Structure 1
């Protein structure tokens, strides 16, 4: 059967691309190996789907080409998606840092996208095996269907228990597109035996500024049985490379605070001073690490300043990350140098498009990656519709 477009993947990007093209008159088929659509949407945001972020902007995304996302993001914004949510009567609320969530269930977002697809006459086949992809005479052939356009919307390998794979990269290479080495992103770190005292703090959460390779985020951190997690840590993990230290500001303004404690409670020890600002277990661990045994009144200011430097620039050395199993997204992917930023179309392969997480564009934590799915999906859908006129 002949279609205008075959979209591989019934996730957020694929469904929005399908709806956009279908409602503009294109005949669209969506194929997915899963037994239900939008599986990553359903588990996101604790089941309430952090569907976008009020602050979504190009500088909130990582890519080999930092300007690539600008075109799609500007032509389908967070406000456009929010309009769609409100047209479907989905109640929402804003949490910290501009994050938007459904009041009810993430299922509402999936149902909204499916309804948009129904309005566009989109055909969706679930449990479909993609198999070999043929290409000739200006048409792509997949699973017994043919189309002038093929959209790679299969995501990346993060969260493999949901059925995620790296098939997008195999398809891209089949058509001669480059792939930037994929890696887990928005993912917890593991710490080794040299920093086992921090693994012993599992369950301790605290506000922190985390830094890696010039990227800095101020949010919560959480010690785990194997290392470090929490929003600030997940954020910087996208910028981390093997061997890089992660620097934490455990106590901002530490020098001032320690000198003030010395004046107020000269007979106290460092642990007591730190416990005024940090969780007690973390205060104890940092005091032991710094190793000042004297009462504060007997500690020279210069020594307190060195202790403060440790508190403001604590360097930890992850041995690795928790990998794709715990990663919220995949960094890297189909090289943007091979794609048009306006149409998401492949240069040199007319009719081939790549969108969403499959592409080398990775957003911050907090709804940014969903916005990239919507924006890139809309860009491809519009391009397909215009080509079919």
Structure 2
């Protein structure tokens, strides 16, 4: 395998890299897939609680964040969730829809990894694991890569090494460093789909660690209705992970704790149950510990009948847009994905090839395209990998 010629070298044996290598190999290309880890698909294996949330049937470009919101349209339209589901079913992998269009394996994420490895086998892909790419050169239209004892060259090089989220699995910013070496711009990477931390006046809510409730989380124009979870460090749960992709330091996250209650509901409750307390009526809709903390913070003691309409209106307004100002996030260590990455302005949306460097491609999480929670990022991995594989 020393100094051998290939048609393409793919760096990174995660979801995007495995799929791209397999598809290119099945198109008759001689492909070398390299990863510094000793095994392939590490993030796939832990995803979805070990069952791999492999796509989302509601995939649409507007459910992705990017400096160019239109960039993902081409790839996503040419390789859809139905296309990947057809592959899953061809391998007789049982699956189910959990919620909100999220598709999971009934069994194990290992089934998806095994499927991708079999697809690579069918494409004749050579896989080299356990050694990082220590040297990468480009001259005369050819890329040369050294990875441990392996030295190979090819006219196409695919960057599929992802971003730095979940570093304990070996994730790094390698793709960004390599992209910069080739003169490509990088949108500042930051943690996404990540728990947020609280400080200052919000510290009281840490006492609710373990308590969850269905809420609507707002930040700027984004809003998500799902569960929020209080932790010993701050806020987590699907609603918070979703909104974290839109949050930046200094922003306020507003929580509607009672999304099914219409405006003026407290005034109505005053008329129908004048002797009830705010803590009691909140306890009818929310976990008791949360209801107690919210009632204490609002400060309406006594019976509803003894409170003014103005005070009750203000209380219901606050419960509908309760402001939190997180002081940070739990960082890349707990982030499910990375927001930002290789600038889409540098790439062809049809082929994922760098405009400045013919033969250089970037796919998956390495690119400045970040999906919502729930299988969207896997679908971007499949779609961007497919786009590049058709062009190699």
TM-score, normalization: structure 2?
Answer: 0.97
SS of alignment partner, residue 348 of structure 1 = coil
SS of alignment partner, residue 155 of structure 2 = strand
SS of alignment partner, residue 133 of structure 1 = strand
Structure 1 residues 293-337: Cα deviation after superposition (integer angstroms, max 9, x where no partner)? 131111121210000011001010100000000000000000000
Correspondence 1:6 to 2:14:
no
Select which of 352, 366, 369 maps to 2:374. Answer: 366
Contact 1:48 1:103 in 2 (8 A): yes
SS of alignment partner, residue 76 of structure 2 = helix
Query: How far apart are residue 259 of structure 1 and its match?
Result: 2.1
Structure 1 residues 342-368: Cα deviation after superposition (integer angstroms, max 9, x where no partner)? 000001100000000000000000000
Partner of 1:127: 130
Select which of 235, 250, 265 maps to 1:243. Answer: 250
SS of alignment partner, residue 292 of structure 1 = coil
Correspondence 1:262 to 2:270:
yes
Select which of 40, 45, 51 maps to 1:42. Answer: 45
Contact 1:254 1:308 in 2 (8 A): no
Q: Which 4+ residue blocks in structure 1 deviate beyond 2 angstroms?
A: 252-257
Instruction: Figure out how many residues of one structure are paired with residues of the other and give that number.
Output: 384
Q: Separation in 2 of the partners of 1:211 and 1:313?
A: 8
Q: Separation in 2 of the partners of 1:361 and 1:176?
A: 19
Query: How far apart are residue 267 of structure 1 and its match?
Result: 1.7
Q: Separation in 1 of the partners of 2:329 and 2:262?
A: 29
Correspondence 1:160 to 2:167:
yes
Correspondence 1:88 to 2:86:
no
Q: CA RMSD for the aligned pairs? A: 0.8
Correspondence 1:201 to 2:203:
no
Select which of 137, 140, 163 maps to 2:140. Answer: 137
Partner of 2:57: 54
Structure 1 residues 202-235: Cα deviation after superposition (integer angstroms, max 9, x where no partner)? 1110010001121111111000001000001000
Partner of 2:176: 169
Correspondence 1:183 to 2:183:
no
Q: Separation in 1 of the partners of 2:18 and 2:390?
A: 13
SS of alignment partner, residue 97 of structure 1 = coil
Query: How far apart are residue 137 of structure 1 and its match?
Result: 1.0
Structure 1 residues 86-115: Cα deviation after superposition (integer angstroms, max 9, x where no partner)? 011101000110000000000000000000
Between stretches 308-317 and 292-301, larger displacement belongs to: 292-301
Q: Separation in 1 of the partners of 2:234 and 2:370?
A: 23
SS of alignment partner, residue 96 of structure 1 = coil
Query: How far apart are residue 278 of structure 1 and its match?
Result: 1.0
Partner of 1:147: 154
Alignment of 1:199-238 (within 5 A): 199-238=206-245
Contact 1:254 1:312 in 2 (8 A): no
Contact 1:269 1:296 in 2 (8 A): yes
Partner of 2:119: 116
Q: Separation in 2 of the partners of 1:233 and 1:195?
A: 15
Query: How far apart are residue 254 of structure 1 and its match?
Result: 5.6
Q: Separation in 1 of the partners of 2:330 and 2:385?
A: 29
SS of alignment partner, residue 380 of structure 2 = helix
Contact 1:207 1:221 in 2 (8 A): yes
Alignment of 1:212-361 (within 5 A): 212-252=219-259, 253=261, 255-361=263-369
TM-score, normalization: structure 1?
Answer: 0.98
Partner of 1:377: 385
Q: Separation in 1 of the partners of 2:279 and 2:245?
A: 33
SS of alignment partner, residue 49 of structure 2 = helix
Q: Separation in 1 of the partners of 2:195 and 2:122?
A: 40
Q: Separation in 2 of the partners of 1:214 and 1:281?
A: 30
* Residues 1:257 and 1:276: Cα distance change in structure 2 (over 3 Å): farther
Query: How far apart are residue 3 of structure 1 and its match?
Result: 0.2
Contact 1:187 1:323 in 2 (8 A): yes
SS of alignment partner, residue 308 of structure 1 = helix
